[in-house]
Amino acid sequence: MTQTRFRSAVAPLRRNTTRTIAALPTVDALVAELRPAEPLHCIRPQVLRATARRFVDSFAAATGGDVLYAVKCNPDPAFLRNLWKGGVRHFDCASPAEIRIVRSMFPEAEVHYMHPVKNRAAIRQAYYGHDVRDFSLDSVEELEKILAETGRAKDLGLFIRLAMPKGNAAMDLSGKFGADKDTAVTLLRRARAVGRRVGLCFHVGSQMLDPAAYTRAILMAGGVVAAAGVEVDVLDVGGGFPVSYPDMEPPDLSLFMDAIAEGLRAIALPASTRIWCEPGRALVAAGGSVVVQVERRRGDELFVNDGVYGSLSDAGVPAFRFPCRLVRPSGDSDAPLLPFSFWGPTCDSADRMRGPFLLPADVREGDWIEIGQLGAYGATLRTEFNGFDQARLAEVVDPPLLETAGHGVSPRLPRMAA
């Protein structure tokens, strides 16, 4: 029989070349001691716990509902552990690897398989191997697949993913998944006939800066429920909640909660309907940063040791700007801030991050730069391309580099310095 080997799909930072180092008090102290030649990933446990607690409490106050963490955003065990400590008990998983890591860490967690297109073997593994009962879907074919692979189980939770129009999210997610209204009505009726519980779910797009997008989406969901003429047990308003970046300052989190509450009031679902949401970015972005080292300066271009094939994928084509600060153990710089762009360590000219990233004018080879808001969609996207996959990992006490309004966590950088 052919032998195949799997590369770990989750937590690539935990692979052999990476070692966890003892927690030290601050990023600056770590850099001074280690003088790291590879990227140093800094995890902020207190920030993760405080952010999760604030979000869980805000959502419960607005809706009485539950927060599902979207594990894809960062499946690192240290992140999961601190979210759990912050009160997160539900996990939105999209693959068997994500389900396995959550189940192994928190046997009593509520795990939901919210990927609308699943592999048959994965459905069997989730249902029989990990006691997962909730599955999302957006087609009749997927409903049939789930029913067939679970032996037409009577204890299924079936969640119909609604298509959303292209909105003004920084990361548009429309187009790939989602049933149109007529299909959703058909699916809801069929699911109601066979599921133990049924629900509707959607995603308004990631880094959604407009609270009213949630109200509009909830009204659409209400229209589907009314047209189907069946009751839903759960309405899942998805993820997409934004965080601050240097050029994006979202409205206060409370305004998103108000917009959700307004939509729910308007569609007046029965009081027994449970409300869920699936944030990823909003829970973890501030909890992670990466310290990179400058290997060359060419005018206003800096060659650094992490890039778009590493944890700075979103700084590449999506062109996200990230907050930065110089870390120079020999002494701080008081030079004025100037805009710089980055090149990553690989030989690919696509490994380019235009920024601009604001740093002191005298930044030079050998300096370190801390890049913030990278707890979300950072480390989880790393690859081995060109052999640049080594990184260090440490827990730190620092605040995040930027504040997001309503998250209740104070920042390190003043807004203007971002």
Ligand X SMILES: Cc1ncc(COP(=O)(O)O)c(C=O)c1O
Which residues of the chain form contacts with ligand X (CB under 6 A)? Answer: 70, 73, 92, 114, 203, 206, 238-241, 278-282
Residue 262 parent element (H or E): helix 253-267
The residue among 115 and 392 lying less far from ligand X, judged by its C-beta, is 115
Q: How far is the CB of 281 from ligand X (least distance, A)?
A: 4
The residue among 224 and 243 lying less far from ligand X, judged by its C-beta, is 243
- What is the b/e burial string over 377-394, where b = at least 16 CB atoms within 10 angstroms of the residue's CB? bbbbbbeebeebbbbbbb
Q: How far is the CB of 383 from ligand X (least distance, A)?
A: 19
| Closest to 71 in 3D by CA, of 96, 44, 108 | 96
Degrees to nearest 5, angle at CA 279 with 58 and 140: 125
Write the CA distances from 134 to 90, 176, 178, 180, 237, integer angstroms.
11, 21, 17, 21, 16
Report the distance separating Cα 265 and Cα 219, nearest Å: 10
Q: How far is the CB of 397 from ligand X (least distance, A)?
A: 25
Report the distance separating Cα 74 and Cα 208, nearest Å: 19
Half-sphere exposure of 346 (CA within 13 A, CB side): 22
Report the distance separating Cα 88 and Cα 81, nearest Å: 9
Q: How far is the CB of 124 from ligand X (least distance, A)?
A: 21
The residue among 147 and 162 lying less far from ligand X, judged by its C-beta, is 162
Q: How far is the CB of 37 from ligand X (least distance, A)?
A: 31
Burial of residue 210 (CB within 10 Å: 0-12, 13-18, 19+) is buried
The residue among 36 and 205 lying less far from ligand X, judged by its C-beta, is 205
The residue among 211 and 239 lying less far from ligand X, judged by its C-beta, is 239
The residue among 279 and 345 lying less far from ligand X, judged by its C-beta, is 279
| Closest to 18 in 3D by CA, of 288, 271, 369, 390 | 390
| Contact by Cβ (8 Å): 91, 283 | no
Q: How far is the CB of 169 from ligand X (least distance, A)?
A: 8
Report the distance separating Cα 283 and Cα 49, nearest Å: 9
Report the distance separating Cα 341 and Cα 358, nearest Å: 9
Tokens (6 digits) for 316: 């590449």
Q: How far is the CB of 312 from ligand X (least distance, A)?
A: 17
Beta bridge partners of residue 412, listed in sequence order: none
Write the CA distances from 324 to 341, 388, 417, integer angstroms.
12, 21, 9
Any idea which residue has 């999506």 for tokens?
318
The residue among 171 and 417 lying less far from ligand X, judged by its C-beta, is 171
The residue among 150 and 207 lying less far from ligand X, judged by its C-beta, is 207
Q: How far is the CB of 279 from ligand X (least distance, A)?
A: 4
Q: How far is the CB of 254 from ligand X (least distance, A)?
A: 17
The residue among 276 and 342 lying less far from ligand X, judged by its C-beta, is 276
Q: How far is the CB of 67 from ligand X (least distance, A)?
A: 11
The residue among 73 and 143 lying less far from ligand X, judged by its C-beta, is 73
